Amino acid sequence: MKQGSTRGLPGWRFAQGVGALAGVVMAIALYMAFVYAPADALQGDVQRIFYLHVPMAWVAFLAFFVTFIGGIGYLWKRHRGWDQLARASAEIGLVFTTIVLLSGSLWGKPIWGTWWTWDARLTTTLLLWFIYLAYFMLRSYVSDPERAARYAAVLGIFGFIDVPIIYKSVDWWRTLHPGPVVSTGGAAMPGSMVVTLLVALAATTLIYAYMLYQRFWIERTKDEIADYHYRLYERQLAREMREGASV
Amino acid sequence: MRRELGRIYAVAWKDLLSEIRTKEMFGGMAVFALLTIITFNFAFDLTGVDRAASGAGALWVAISFAAMLGLGRSIAVERDRGSLDGLLLCPVDRGVLYLGKLLSNLIFILLVEAISVPVFGALYDLPIYRPTLLLGLLLGTIGFAGIGTLFAVMASTTRAREILFPVLLFPVAVPVVIATVRVASMTLSGTTGDVGRWLNLLVGFDVVFLTIAFLVFDRIVEE
Amino acid sequence: MSDTRLRGAPPDLAPTSAPPSVRTVGVTKRYGRRGVLRGITLTVQPGERVALLGPNGAGKTTLLRILATLSRPTSGTVEIAGFRPDRDAQAVRSRLGVVAHQSYLYDDLTAEENLRFYARMYAVEDAAARIDEVLERVGLAGWRRERVRTFSRGMQQRLALARAMLHRPSVLLLDEPDSALDRAGVRILARLVEEHAAAGGTTVLTTHDLGLGLEVADRVVLLQQGQVVLDAPAADLDVAEIERRLGYR
């Protein structure tokens, strides 16, 4: 019964299309990951986690890039639509980063014999996770939503620009203590694996796009509910003051 | 331009003058840094041959924790006393206020280093008076204080600012920590081959983040 | 000899051609779901002395903070002496002298050092002479080398007044300036505001003391729930009505 209102949203039909497409492509990606792609010569079936892990990492990074752009947009234009975009994307990015860290651990345990290694990519991902966790802590610790949006925008900009610097520094730091190498080098990968990875990447990107659309409208609706409460209170107050004046 | 420099100096000067009279912040920070260095002695064996590598880490952890205390306090004091509003009322670009607070914070931290680095060198018998080590420390301190000053202002208006401040600061400051510690440990262990790239990284970090902080400070202090 | 300078209004501020000292149109301020100001439209001409009255939570302090450029209105426009804070903030700030609940002073600096710092920030030309003047004015000349920490609240408030006048602002914004003052302090305050007005300067002050408001101001604006509910010359004011509205009776 509530669907009547959501259908009115701009781009709703298109988003539904994207969502359906995401489902179809994801189904294909899963089939390819488990059936079509060959088992890795060295790692066996465990390597199939790669088709979840790598696309998630790339898309998480894309999500934080969108948050970065949203932050710049908000600080520049002061229009809260930018902030709604930024926080919607940061949330998906944080969830995806969590999945990346967990799936990486699950993959690392049988292959490297350890849940964790201080490799540049892992370390950078972990720090990224902490930065965007701080992003949401910051938001929840500031009571004025307008101020929270400004602060979050700043952290979103700092965090994103910091990523390549963190990566470089951890990379150089590790060169003295070489850890296990994660890279499943593109050249060594059979063509079927590359195709499967690309399909999985497409599926993950579509899921991100669909979730971003949903999250964005939820965030927007939250703000509109707050506006509504504000207006309701204002109207009630105006009535009270009128009545008070006429007494 | 000259007038703006004078104002940056004035903002830092009133902090330094207050500090010279009370010695509250500097005393606390220095004692804390020394205690951290000593505590590390119990946590790790810093007397062995590889103390050059781990000692550098202990030194920077001590300095960065003390710096964090000082940064948080220097902003919280302005906020609680209301004098931050007094600064914001002045017909002065907000970037000037940022640079002024950064300058005084930086001087405090460098003074703490001036005490704790020689003590550290003496306690662990390490040759710390090397130009590259000191340069790395200086560059790292600038970067740390640069983002620290901005984040401390952000944290100061929030609930639980003492908790939020390190949570904001430390992940973003990781490259500074790594680079500074690498420069120090490479210098101490005498393998200074690619110390240059770390110093470059520190310079890059400082330039990028101080510029952004300078630009966004205006948006942080408005209400 | 220094009186004309102290009064602070720029010599070119001729009452006829000058823009209003304060002009707000439909200013609102909202924090999340909570509204604080609800459409404040107010014009204050050069030379006017306006007392902002209202119960706690009426939005007096928020309005003053917006006029002082410390806070941005959620909607509506503000002009100070013809300049808009969102476009020409420094022009606005250099024309404002502000006294608030907090003194904006540094405890461990002396009275003189505090003023010297702010003189530098406001680029006051003849700083030394001007500092002598304002300290004399608020009766703290004898304490100039004492640290602010040793001052009583009332003395700090006087020094805050001196700080606010230091750069010869044309508009004084005073948020409960009488809160910590003794009778002598209140007399100094009243005289300063009067002299400021005589020189063409404008004052907007908030107070809980209706007596002081009526004594110092020539116009009274009553705020309630973030709205202007009364705006009248102080001379033809029904004191009993105001007191009833403020809940004093």
How much is the ipTM here?
0.91
Q: B18-32, B104-118, B142-156, B201-215: which range is least confident on average?
A: B18-32
Chains contacting A (3+ CB pairs below 8 angstroms): B, C
Each residue of C24-83: pLDDT tens digit? Answer: 999 999 988 889 999 999 999 999 999 999 888 899 999 999 999 999 999 999 999 999
CB contact under 8 A, A157 and B212: yes
Which of C65, C68, C117 minimises the CB distance to B10? C117
Rg (CA), chain C: 17
What is the amino acid identity at position C159?
L
pLDDT score at B38:
87
Pair A127, A160: CB distance under 8 Å: no
CB contact (8 A) between residue C96 and residue B89: yes
Q: What is the pLDDT of residues B123-165, one digit of tens each?
A: 888 888 888 999 999 999 999 999 999 999 999 988 888 899 9
Domains of chain B, by residue range, sit at: 2-221
Q: Which helix (H) or strand (E) holds C172?
A: strand C171-175
pLDDT of residue A240: 85
State the Cα–Cα distance between residues C184 and B55, nearest whole angstrom.
63
Nearest-CA distance A232 → chain C (Å):
10
In this complex, which of B171, B212, B222 lies closest to A134 when CB atoms are compared? Answer: B171
Q: CA-CA-CA-CA torsion for B205, B206, B208, B211, nearest 10 degrees?
A: 160
* Chain A contacts in chain B segment 134-163 (CB below 8 A): 147, 150, 154, 157-160
Instruction: Provide the residue-wise pLDDT of chain A in tens; the chain has 247 residues.
Output: 444 456 667 788 888 899 999 999 999 999 998 888 888 777 788 888 888 999 999 999 999 999 999 999 999 999 999 999 999 999 999 999 999 999 988 888 888 888 888 878 888 899 999 999 999 999 999 989 999 999 999 999 999 999 889 888 888 877 544 444 445 444 567 788 888 999 999 999 999 999 999 999 999 999 999 999 999 999 998 888 788 765 4
Backbone phi, psi, residue A74, to 5°: -70, -45
> pLDDT digit string (tens) for B166-214?
999 999 999 999 999 989 888 888 777 788 889 999 999 999 999 999 9
- The lowest-confidence range among B188-202, C47-61, C90-104, C120-134 is B188-202
Strands (E), A104-202: none
Task: Find out whether B88 and B11 touch, Cβ atoms under 8 Å.
Answer: no
Please give, rounded to a whole number of angstroms, the shortest distance from the CA of A150 to a CA of chain B. Answer: 7
Q: Do B150 and A161 touch (CB under 8 A)?
A: no
User: Closest-CA residue in chain C for A231?
Assistant: C33
If you average pLDDT over every residue of chain B, what do you get?
A: 90
Q: Which two tokens stand for residue C72?
A: 């941005």
Q: What is the 3-state secondary structure (H, E, C) of A112-127?
A: HCCCCCCCHHHHHHHH
Q: Residues of A with CB below 8 A from C34's CB?
A: 230, 233
Q: Is the model's pLDDT at C14 over the cut of 50?
A: no
What residue of C is the nearest CA neighbor of B77?
C106
Neighbors of chain B by Cβ distance (3+ pairs < 8 Å): A, C
Cα distance between residue B33 and residue B16, in whole Å: 20
Q: Do A144 and C224 touch (CB under 8 A)?
A: no
Structure tokens at C229: 């509910």
Q: Could you report the per-residue pLDDT of C187-231, keeping only the tens digit for each?
A: 889 999 999 999 999 999 998 888 888 888 999 999 988 999 889
pLDDT at A175: 59
Q: Please measure the distance between the N-terminal and C-terminal CA atoms of chain A and give it in whole angstroms.
A: 44
- The answer on pLDDT for B99 being more than 70 is yes
Write down the pLDDT at residue A114.
83
C-proximal residues of B, 62-81, CB under 8 Å = 81
Q: Percent of chain C having pLDDT more than 90?
A: 69
Query: B92 CB near a chain C CB, below 8 Å?
Result: yes
- What pLDDT does residue C7 have? 44
- The answer to whether the Cβ–Cβ distance between A230 and C227 falls below 8 Å is no
Which residue in C32, C224, C225 is closest to A144 by CB distance? C32
Mutate to test the interface with C, among B85, B94, B104, B222 (most CBs of C within 10 A): B85
Q: Residue B23: how many CB atoms within 10 A of its CB?
A: 11
- CA-nearest residue to A149 within chain C is C32
Instruction: Number of B to C CB contacts under 8 A, please give it.
Output: 75
User: Would an 8 Å CB–CB cutoff place A243 in contact with chain C?
Assistant: no
For chain C, list the domains and their CATH numbers.
3-104+169-246 (3.40.50.300)
Alpha-carbon gap: A119 to the closest alpha carbon of chain C (Å):
43
Q: Do A142 and B171 touch (CB under 8 A)?
A: no
pLDDT at C42: 95
pLDDT at residue B222, as a whole number = 86
Say yes or no to pLDDT of C236 above 80. no
CB C218 within 8 A of CB C48: yes
Mean pLDDT of B81-86: 88
The pLDDT confidence band at residue C9, using thresholds 50, 70 and 90, is very low
